Amino acid sequence: MKVRLIKSWQEQLADTFDKPYFNILAQFVRQEYHKFKCFPEGRVIFNAFDSCQFDDVRVVILGQDPYHGEGQANGLCFSVPEGVSHPPSLVNIFKEVQQDIGKPYPQSGNLLRWASQGVLLLNATLTVRKGQAGSHQNKGWESFTDAVIEKLSTKKTGLVFMLWGNYAKQKGKHINRDKHLVLVSGHPSPLSANRGFWFGNKHFSKANAFLTTNGKPIIDW
């Protein structure tokens, strides 16, 4: 798996791509995509990075793994391509945005509009086998995304990290809370949201308030 990222990320992660675990991961991903239908398409596995320059990152939203249904995953966590029906978690995200800051519920579920403003939409695991949630976990992706989070935490200041659900919370150990705002809540999936662990977290208004305090432009959610 040859990794071609935009220059700003390539420079930051070059040492990571040389690690032995990443070579093993790359071999696994190649085999999976050869033998099975996997998501997202190979060309957009690293879409989260290609859509958001390292220097531009202001907010990091952490997901678990890509959608495993046909035509849903586009390389940005929780996002779907134009014209695709919104999965339940995305529906709940948009409902919280609506309740929190009064933004109308959008037609498009493509979150590229967030990424272009400096929101890194990062799944902990960047690939998945069709119809098998979590099928590419514990193969090395978690080590890679841990390295990404640690790099962001170390090299930047005043970021907002949104950790939704227990899986994302585990990533929090790599974040320096003296330098960054860490917002934690339940996952936006119906199972969590319907039990009162998602709605009302006000992460979107809290993020913008923090960005304003630190002299950074807010996100147009």
**Active-site residue set:** 65
Task: Kindly give the interhelix angle for 88-101 and 203-213, rounded to the nearest 10 degrees.
Answer: 60
* Residue 160 Cα distances to 2, 46, 121, 156, 186, angstroms: 30, 21, 12, 11, 17
How many CA within 13 A on the CB side of residue 58? 21
- Furthest-apart CA atoms within the chain: distance in Å: 50
Q: What's the helix, strand, coil split of the chain in %, to 5?
A: 45, 10, 45
Token digits of residue 56: 């531009």
Q: How far apart are CA 157 and CA 152, in angstroms?
A: 8
Peptide bond into 87 cis (omega under 30): no
DSSP state of 124: S
- Phi, psi for 42 (deg, rounded to 5): -55, -35
Q: In what order do the strands lie in the sheet with 160-164?
A: 119-123, 59-63, 160-164, 181-185
DSSP state of 182: E
